[in-house]
Amino acid sequence: MQKTLFFYFLLSLSFSVFSQKEVFIHLVPNVNNTNFNINTNYNGLNGKSFNIDHFDYYISDITLTHDGGNNTSLLDSSHIYIIEPDNFTISLGLLNLNAIEEIEFTMGVPSRYNTISGSNSQDISSFPLSHPLSFQSPSMYWGWSTGYMHMIIGGNIDNDNDGTPETYFELHNLGNQNQQSVSLMPIIQTNTNNNRIDVYLQCNIEQWLKNISLSSVGVLHGSNGPNQQLLNNVSAESVFTQAANAQIIDQQKTGELFYFFDNNNAVVQWKEIADAYKIQVFSNDGRLVKEKIGVQSNDLITLKNQAPGKYILKIYNKNGLPISGLNIVLF
């Protein structure tokens, strides 16, 4: 009996380490690192100007790695989401966690929900109208045998090189072979308050459309060719990244964190950041490029001989929790 009580004590203690937070993920659409707007002309897509008049895509099978390697997976149909130009924030609900380290998700509808052969498939009419797998406008469903379209996107491309996009294109991607896995780390979260965490990610639309000859696709529906390239780009290009303006905001944190350049080296300095103990710097693809343990509340580090690009710096306390962070861009 005493052993059983001790076991339950340890179990309750392990759960008490995490506090319940409502987690929001913002998949902010961008083009060329600027805020995306419908029907706005942009330059530089395969050397041509273009605009986008609509897009919709699914994300699903979200796994959060948090608090020193713990995993929380959201795999049921209630955590399938549809993302639109003006509807790109999703709530994951109340979760037991404090610090998110990595986010993984599937771009598209999981095969088990997608077609007649899926283990959890059901008729589209059986979903509540508010569910992402129910009827949508524009439609995201092609039929019982072929399933859902993982993504649709349409707009205009400059076909005659006069600087004005005039040739319409539209792509509808489907097929169980075309779902793509996305993994992003490290994550800089915004601790909006004691009960809410916001994570800002960036969806880079021009990266999605790379290496596709949009001038000649017209309206194309299917799982091969340009539609396959559309989803392959999720893995091959930087379609999803940490948002450039992501930051940690802790209501109880005081102090300053900034960087400057000295002889082409980036110097990161912080002042009056209480409980600072360890600092880590990651490249944009998640590689740890610098680490320093035993830092002070007033301290600095220098990044030497690093390649140009974006880097993410995080400061941790002795318990391994992030207490501050900064994006660094090296030119």
pLDDT in tens, 146-155: 889 999 999 9
Domain 256-330 has CATH 2.60.40.10: yes
Please state, in angstroms and as integers, the Cα–Cα distance from residue 14 to each residue in 18, 96, 213, 285, following that order. Answer: 8, 11, 54, 32
For residue 77, the SS3 value is helix
| Cβ contact 15:97 at 8 Å | no
**Mean pLDDT confidence for 286-310:** 86
Residues whose CB is less than 8 angstroms from the CB of residue 113 and which lie 6 or more positions away in sequence, other chains included: 60, 77, 80, 120, 121, 122, 133
Structure confidence at residue 104 (pLDDT) = 96
Q: How many CB atoms lie within 10 A of CB 219?
A: 10
Structure confidence at residue 43 (pLDDT) = 87
pLDDT digits (tens, 9 = 90+) for 125-134: 999 988 999 9
Please check the confidence at residue 15 and state whether its pLDDT lies above 50: no
Structure confidence at residue 331 (pLDDT) = 65
| Cβ contact 266:330 at 8 Å | yes
Please check the confidence at residue 20 and state whether its pLDDT lies above 60: yes
Percent of the chain clearing pLDDT 90 (strictly above): 43
pTM score, two decimals? 0.72
Percent of the chain clearing pLDDT 70 (strictly above): 90
Instruction: Output the CA torsion 74→186→183→80 (10° steps).
Output: 30
| Per-domain residue ranges of the chain | 19-242, 256-330
Instruction: State the Cα–Cα distance between residues 270 and 259, nearest whole angstrom.
Output: 8
Compute the mean pLDDT over every residue in the chain, rounded to the nearest whole number: 85
